[in-house]
A = this chain, B = another copy of it.
Amino acid sequence: MTQLGSIAVLDRLAHVSMRREAPVLADRLAALDRWVRDDLVNLDRDLDAFSRSAKPLREGGRVVHAAANHLLDLKGKHLRPTCVALASKFGEGFTPRARSLAVAVELVHSATLLHDDVVDVAERRRGQPTACVVYGNAASIFAGDWLLVAALRKISASGIPGLLEQMLAVIDEMIAAESLQLERRGQMAGTREDYFTVAEGKTAALFRWAMIAGAKTAGLPVTGEAALDRFGLHLGVAFQAVDDELDFGTAEVTGKDPLADLREGKLTFPLVVALEREPTLRTEIEALLGEDEPPREALLKLANAVRATGALTATRALAEDRVKKALAELEELPAGSARDALVTVALASLERAS
Give A contacts to B, CB under 8 Å: 56-57, 59-65, 115, 118-119, 137-139, 141-142, 145-146, 148-150, 152-153, 156, 164-165, 168-169, 171-173, 175-183, 194, 197
Contacts and interface: CB of A to CB of B under 8 A. Distances in A.
A61 B141 contact: no
Contacts of A177: 60
Nearest to A177: B60
A175 B62 contact: no
A148 B57 CA distance: 20
Nearest to A145: B175
A177 to B, nearest CB: 7
Contacts of A182: 61, 63-64, 138-139, 142
Given A150-B172, A153-B172, A168-B153, A179 B142 contact: yes
- Complex A-B, nearest 4 residue pairs according to Cβ-Cβ distance, in ascending order: A61-B179, A60-B180, A64-B179, A119-B138
B171 A145 contact: yes
Nearest to A55: B176
Contacts of A175: 57, 61, 64, 142, 145-146, 149
20 contacts: A56-B173, A60-B177, A60-B180, A60-B194, A62-B179, A62-B183, A63-B179, A63-B183, A64-B175, A64-B178, A118-B138, A138-B182, A139-B179, A142-B178, A142-B179, A145-B148, A145-B171, A150-B172, A152-B152, A152-B168
Given A165-B153, A172-B153, A180 B118 contact: no
Contacts of A118: 137-138, 141
A180 B61 contact: yes
Given A64-B182, A197-B60, A156 B168 contact: yes
A112 B118 CA distance: 17
Contacts of A178: 61, 64, 142
A164 B62 CA distance: 27
